[in-house]
Amino acid sequence: MGIVVQKYGGTSVADKERIFRAARRAISEYEKGNKVVVVVSAQGDTTDELIEKAREINENPSKREMDMLLSTGEQISIALMAMAIEKLGYPVISLTGWQAGIKTDSHYSNARIIEIDTERLQRELDKRNIVVVAGFQGINKYDDITTLGRGGSDTTAVALAAALKADKCEIYTDVDGVYTADPRIVPNASKLKEISYDEMLELATLGAKVLHNRSVELAKKYNIPLVVRSSFNDNEGTIVKEVNSVEKLLVSGVACDKDIARVAVIGVENVPGKAFQIFSLLAKENINVDIILQSIGREKTKDISFTVSKSNLKQTLDVLTKNLHVIGAKDITYADNVAKVSIVGAGMVNNPGVAAMMFEALYDAGINIEMISTSEIKISVLIDEKDAEKAVRAIHDKFKLHLLNNEK
């Protein structure tokens, strides 16, 4: 007997039948004598539809009102889920984020959870209620509703698991687990039996949409193993946890991110302080910069190129153009038809030759590399967007990831 947190994503609660399927799964944990917390996302495409609705009224609504609107998607789900559990004859109560004591900072649309006051939750669990909590939302110090960023229900689940010291945190989704590549791009991708927090964090950040990256950060911080599995079958899923060194895989996944643009500041005077100037301008605007490349240009100048997410491109160009004379640069160019393809593997730290193999795969496929960046457990390349899928398949093949079978 213990505490179990289960999270069901939007597709897992998209219709009546699926809601009942999830409800029965929650009940089966409850039947074992466990205290059960169920976190749900908005049904199907509800969140996207709400964003669309907002746009019809106002192309630039305040973030506070957007959060007010988007949080309603999850509120529908908790009520319906609670009604299903009720219908099946079990005691249940639904709670919105604020009712569940989820306190966040004030960054509307991308808030962070600061603390969870579990008093109400504990009380309901002690009464032997199944507690259904709205994912993706909390409340800030002004008593306003905030949301945690797209995909944030995963983070709600992990934060609740940490606060309640849960014994198990299961993330139910529409795929069987974490794969070596997106199975829609690579049909013979392998499902991983387990993956380390660090690798999962890289994959989540690099555009694999299985888990919200902040949920993985939290799981790592509190050492909570996560089980990612399908709500549509009983397959085992993937466990995200601390993986010890002998089990480390050379490459455990290939990810692809198309939400990226490359910006180049051309003809920057070749003196100290220029990179500092450029990137502090961007930092002030809260713009995240990814791959950075500096190269020698003509006549004692240098070019500084970097990538940002597509949604930050306009703001990036605006602030740099406005400050072109301050920076002392000649021109700014950009490209938004680029993609970042990355390999992640905890075992690559001590194994030379992994990068060469990746580049060979791209060369064999006739794909040109524009930029490269590496970390201990990751290698990323920037390429033409039209080559993205081909690159993922070529790399996946090269490392024979379809044969990868870390099932034990």
Binding interface with ligand ASP (CB under 6 A)? 9-10, 41-42, 47, 73, 135-136, 150-153
Q: Which residue has the tokens 């490459």?
A: 251
Minimum CB distance to ligand ASP smaller for 78 or for 343:
78
Q: What is the 3-state secondary structure (H, E, C) of 353-389?
A: CHHHHHHHHHHHCCCCCCEEEEECCEEEEEEEHHHHH
Q: Which does 380 bind (CB under 5 to 8 A by kind): Mg ion, ligand ASP, none?
A: none
Minimum CB distance to ligand ASP smaller for 108 or for 136:
136
Query: Pairing between strand 253-257 and 338-344?
Result: antiparallel
The contact pattern for Mg ion, residues 111-150, with x = CB under 5 A and - = no contact, is ----------------------------------------
**CB within 8 A of 356, min separation 6: which ones?**
none
SS3 88: coil
CB-count burial class (<10 Å; 0-12, 13-18, 19+) for 240:
buried
Q: Determine whether the annotation assigns residue 210 to a binding site.
A: yes
Q: Smallest gap, in angstroms, from Cβ of residue 331 to Mg ion?
A: 40
In the region spanning residues 7 to 46, those forming contacts with Mg ion, defined by CB under 5 A, are: 9
Q: Determine whether the annotation assigns residue 10 to a binding site.
A: yes
Q: Which does 347 bind (CB under 5 to 8 A by kind): Mg ion, ligand ASP, none?
A: none
Could you tell me where the DSSP H helices lie in 58-169?
63-87, 119-126, 153-163
Could you tell me where the DSSP H helices lie in 257-353?
274-284, 310-322, 324-327
Binding flag, residue 151, Mg ion (CB under 5 A): yes
Strands in 100-234 per DSSP E: 102-104, 113-116, 130-134, 137-139, 145-147, 168-173, 194-196, 226-230
Distance CA 408, CA 406 (A): 6
Q: Which does 10 bind (CB under 5 to 8 A by kind): ligand ASP, Mg ion, none?
A: ligand ASP
Minimum CB distance to Mg ion smaller for 125 or for 208:
208
From the list 14-22, 151-159, 189-197, 279-287, the region that binds Mg ion by CB under 5 A is: 151-159
Minimum CB distance to ligand ASP smaller for 69 or for 116:
69
| Pair 85, 132: CB distance under 8 Å | yes
The residue count of the chain comes to 408
Q: Which does 42 bind (CB under 5 to 8 A by kind): ligand ASP, Mg ion, none?
A: ligand ASP
Q: Which does 71 bind (CB under 5 to 8 A by kind): Mg ion, ligand ASP, none?
A: none
Q: Smallest gap, in angstroms, from Cβ of residue 171 to ligand ASP?
A: 10
Q: Which residue's C-beta sits nearest to Mg ion?
A: 151
Q: Determine whether the annotation assigns residue 74 to a binding site.
A: yes
SS3 180: coil
Q: Smallest gap, in angstroms, from Cβ of residue 150 to ligand ASP?
A: 4
Q: Which residue's C-beta sits nearest to ligand ASP?
A: 153
| Sign of the dihedral through C-alpha 358, 360, 362, 364 | negative
By CB under 5 A, the count of residues binding Mg ion is 2
Minimum CB distance to Mg ion smaller for 157 or for 320:
157
Could you give phi then psi for residue 29, rounded to 5 degrees?
-70, -40
Binding residues for ATP: 7-10, 173-174, 179, 184, 209-210
Binding residues for substrate: 47, 74
User: What does the binding site for Mg ion look like in residue numbers (CB under 5 A)?
Assistant: 9, 151
